[in-house]
Structure 1
Amino acid sequence: MWTEILVGIVALLAGIALGFFIARRYMMTYLKKNPPINEQMLKMMMMQMGMKPSQKKINQMMSAMNKQTK
């Protein structure tokens, strides 16, 4: 009886841990393929804030965001 309960608890914990790592890997892969902000979106945001975005400034902001995500 105790062994059945112990096996059930171990299986539950293993399933939770495995599910966590699978979900984490999936999300990291998804975010690499589909970054949340791209250059076009950044340019539009800057224009809405009343700034005139130069390509140099956009590249600097994109590289800063990429460094932050790594």
Structure 2
Amino acid sequence: MNLWLAIVLIIVALAGGVALGFYFARQYMMKYLKENPPINEQMIRVMMAQMGRKPSEKQVRQMMAQMNKLQDK
């Protein structure tokens, strides 16, 4: 009887640890990506210049707005 109780407690503790670890890792990554966005206006300008385009400020802001909109979802 005590063996089954020990096994159940180990499984519950393992599941709780996995759930808490996932939650804290997700929170850390969301905070990291918010502080260090994967793409910024300068990167968009460089990317468009490599494609042979000279982007206007309006185009850069539109692309940033799209990126932020997709990131928020």
- Using the size of structure 2 for normalisation, the TM-score is 0.94
Number of the residue aligned with 1:28: 30
Alignment of 1:32-51 (within 5 A): 32-51=34-53
Q: Which runs of 4+ in 1 moved over 4 A?
A: none
| Root mean square deviation of aligned Cα | 0.4
Identical columns (%): 60
Q: Within 1, Cα distance between the matches of 2:58 and 2:70?
A: 18
**Cα shift at 1:24:** 0.3
Structure 2: runs of 5+ lacking an equivalent: none
Number of the residue aligned with 1:10: 12
Give the secondary-structure state (helix, strand or coil) at the position aligned to 2:64: helix
Cα deviations across residues 32-61 of structure 1 (Å, max 9, x unaligned)?
A: 000000000110000000011110000000
Number of the residue aligned with 1:66: 68
The one-letter amino acid of 1:3's match is L
The one-letter amino acid of 1:19's match is G
Structure 1: runs of 5+ lacking an equivalent: none
